[in-house]
Structure 1
Amino acid sequence: MPGPYLCPNCKTNKSRFNLIEQVATPMKLDPQTGDVLEEFSNENTGVMHVSYNGPDYKVQCGVCGLIEDEQTFIKHAEYDQKNS
């Protein structure tokens, strides 16, 4: 966590948050059954598979339950500090 957080939804919570670590598991599914046919490593996903490039973490507000990217909470805290 590079700095303080502020929930952009309830605008009061500055202390209660859940940090959600996102771990992608690349896999190939059977189109008819949905069964897992093959799991790939993150380095070897194959030619027709795009690697996950989303954020490493999501943050959930511990008061209202909003889930957003970590930067959203950080930027709202920075804005609030400037205008205080």
Structure 2
Amino acid sequence: MSNAYLCPNCKTNRTRFNLIAQVPQSVKLDPSTGSVVNQYENAEDLDPFHIPYNGAERLVQCAACGVIGEEASFIKRAQHNPR
């Protein structure tokens, strides 16, 4: 992390953030019990109807107002509003 952040919601916080690592876990559940039937290790192992996760690797939460969003939105807000 070498980019400045600025909260896109409260527009004042530049220093206090929570970084949230996204670690997806692909599973197949039993429809009646909800228990895990199969846990997929690789995207290549997924069955044809299981779309692999393609979301953000990291989310950011503003520790002042609590809004959670993708890291890019916090970086862009800081770039458009430099100190």
TM-score by length of 1: 0.91
Are 1:38 and 2:38 an aligned pair? yes
Identity %: 49
- Match of residue 62 from structure 1: 63
- Match of residue 27 from structure 1: 27
- Superimposed CA distance per residue, residues 37-74 of structure 1 (whole angstroms, 9 cap, x where no aligned partner): 11001332222211100000000001111100000000
**Are the counterparts in 2 of residues 42 and 51 from structure 1 also a CA contact under 8 Å?**
no
**Are the counterparts in 2 of residues 7 and 76 from structure 1 also a CA contact under 8 Å?**
yes
User: Which amino acid in structure 2 is aligned with residue 3 of structure 1?
Assistant: N
**Are the counterparts in 2 of residues 27 and 37 from structure 1 also a CA contact under 8 Å?**
yes
Distance 2:77 2:31 in 1: 42
Question: How big is the alpha-carbon RMSD for the aligned residues of Structure 1 and Structure 2?
Answer: 1.1
Aligned length: 82
Q: Which runs of 4+ in 1 moved over 3 A?
A: none
5+ residue gaps, structure 2, are none
Query: What's the secondary structure of 1:28's corresponding residue?
Result: strand
TM-score by length of 2: 0.92
